[in-house]
Amino acid sequence: VQLQASGGGLVQAGGSLRLSCAAFGDIESIRSMGWYRRAPGKQPALVATVTSSERINYGDVVKGRVTLSRDYAKNTVDLQMNSLKPEDTAVYYCNADGKERNARTFNSWGQGTLVTVSS
């Protein structure tokens, strides 16, 4: 299963960005799908994930400023980020895990998209 991410870029502090991610492959089901980020010199951090039961988990670093939505039919997730801060600068990675139609499980990562927030 491959993930294709889009969005990201340069934005001023206080601005907004939208990241999108689509999963492609012989997918039977996706258990969880969402975004993580890695800022320079920091450990990877949860941004937001959504499960097949529509439970959304937001990371403390972004809680209240982002909204994650998922299209279950299209196997996509969108991350709307508002009130961005310079400390949100990071490479954002899409992640999905689930099961393929051949019964194999997968845990896939996208290529990463850079978000830069200028002060």
Q: What separation in angstroms does the CA of 59 have from each of 47, 49, 94, 104, 106? A: 5, 9, 14, 29, 23
* pLDDT given for residue 61 in this prediction: 87
Q: Residue type at 29? A: S
**pLDDT (tens digit, 9 = 90+) per residue, 60-74?**
989 899 999 999 999
Please give the Cα distance from 89 to 91 (Å, whole number): 7
Please give the Cα distance from 84 to 74 (Å, whole number): 28
Percent of the chain with pLDDT over 70: 100
Please give the Cα distance from 111 to 106 (Å, whole number): 16
**pLDDT (tens digit, 9 = 90+) per residue, 74-96?**
999 999 999 999 999 999 999 99
* pLDDT given for residue 99 in this prediction: 97
